[in-house]
Amino acid sequence: MAYLYILCMYYLIWITSANASLSTIGNVYYNMSYNSTGTIITRLTVKYQITCAAQCANLFANCNTAVFDSLTIPQSTPSLYRWNVTGITVAGASSGSGGTADNLLSRPYGTALGSFDSLYIADFNNHRIQKWLINESNGTTVAGLSNGTAGASSIALNLPTSVVLDSNDNMYFTDRDNHRVVDWANGASSGSTIAGITGIAGSTNNTFYGPCGIARDSSTGTLYIADTYNHRIMQYLSNASSGTVVAGGNGLGTGITQLALLIANAQTNNIVRWVLGASSWTLVIGSPTGLSGNTSTLLSQPIGITLDPMGNIYVADSQNHRIQFFFAGQSNGTTIAGVTSSPGISQHKLNAPCWVIVDNQLNLYVSDTANNRVQFFSHS
């Protein structure tokens, strides 16, 4: 069973190949496959193997439909899930200053980890993608204009939101206000529009309206795009000139036929799962009615979402200024970064975090968006 997640402009989507879930701003991720005992049998983006413990056996009675719904991680090993509560600024200014200089960011959104300890950042308000080597004080513009100017040409961008990489660090990203998806080869000076029509908003199968989240299936090159203001998820096969609606498309709402795939739905403050081919979703985290809150079971405008190899969920709970951790199959979360409902600039606080990713050591990289920086929280 393979997993994808997309985060979108309301916000997050995650998708499983057999079971999928989505939301509306953000990012999509292709993970791995499991056999009936929960053992990873296909490693796609995760380069290490984890075998499910004996107590996890028999939890996957039907591998075509089970998505860790029954999987729980023993609470007897809490040290496996601890993070340093003090962050380290790895991109942008720790002071929160924003700008266009190569050591600054302006409202960073999507991030992706590349080769050679590199971090790719959708520098949203600077209309560019920045590549930041770990432990460096400056970034390099790898897509868009380095001076932060918006545009609609093959060399300019307009509010890029999320970025994914292939194995060669070629970039695929959503260029939100140009209503397109761009393919930008590693080291190239310009990109190509591969989905959508530059500068034209629409709701046909070859147009978007403010696309935000993107995921790529590394085995086929298929893209899944969160078409934010059309409230749908589009699937684009490799080299296709138009896409297919695979989730949503029924307008904004909380009705069970109005979302698609594993979704962090920012505007309704919840995360839901939509099995591909199904006619309804099931609630994963948050309120089924759209109620916001700051308790361990409620969210307020969740945007970024990601998973680790055990199926645990990490949520950028933006308006609660925190990162929430949910054991697989659980709806009661724990704050692992930031202070609930307390925005700030200190190294243990966040301000409207919009993105979170996890590396293969379970370290966190958080786009601390309103603080114009990316924070690193080490796994301990």
Per-residue pLDDT tens, the chain, 380 aa: give them. 344 555 544 333 433 333 233 333 333 333 333 333 333 333 222 222 222 232 222 222 222 222 222 223 333 334 567 999 999 999 999 999 999 999 999 999 999 999 999 999 999 999 999 999 988 999 999 999 999 999 999 999 999 999 999 999 999 999 999 999 999 999 999 999 999 999 999 999 999 999 998 989 888 999 989 899 998 889 899 999 999 988 777 776 767 665 457 777 888 899 988 776 666 778 999 999 999 999 999 999 999 999 899 989 999 999 999 999 999 999 999 999 999 999 999 999 999 999 999 999 999 999 999 999 999 999 98
| Structure tokens belonging to residue 122 | 């959708």
Q: Residue 287 CB: number of other CB atoms within 10 A?
A: 16
Strand partners, 319: none
The residue among 309, 302, 319 whose CA lies nearest residue 360 is: 309
pTM of the entire predicted model? 0.81
First-to-last C-alpha distance (Å) of the chain:
29
Instruction: Say if residues 272 and 11 touch (Cβ distance below 8 Å).
Output: no
Look up the CATH superfamily of 103-249.
TolB, C-terminal domain (2.120.10.30)
> For residue 360, what pLDDT is reported?
92
Q: Is 226 helix (H, G, I), strand (E, B) or coil?
A: strand
pLDDT at site 364: 97
Backbone angles phi, psi at 371, to 5 degrees: -95, 5
Distance CA 355, CA 359 (A): 13
- Taking the C-alpha atoms of residue 73 and residue 75, their distance in angstroms, rounded to an integer, is 6
CB 87 within 8 A of CB 371: no
Handedness of CA 8, 10, 16, 19 (dihedral sign): negative
What is the SS3 assignment for 230-294? HCEEEEECCCCCCCEEEEECCCCCCCCCCCCECEEEHHHCEEEEECCCCCCEEEEEECCCCCCCC
Q: Which of 201, 157, 194, 150 is nearest to 179 (CA)?
A: 201
Which of 106, 108, 110 has its CA nearest to residue 12? Answer: 110
Listed by start position, the domains of the chain span: 103-249
pLDDT score, position 158: 98
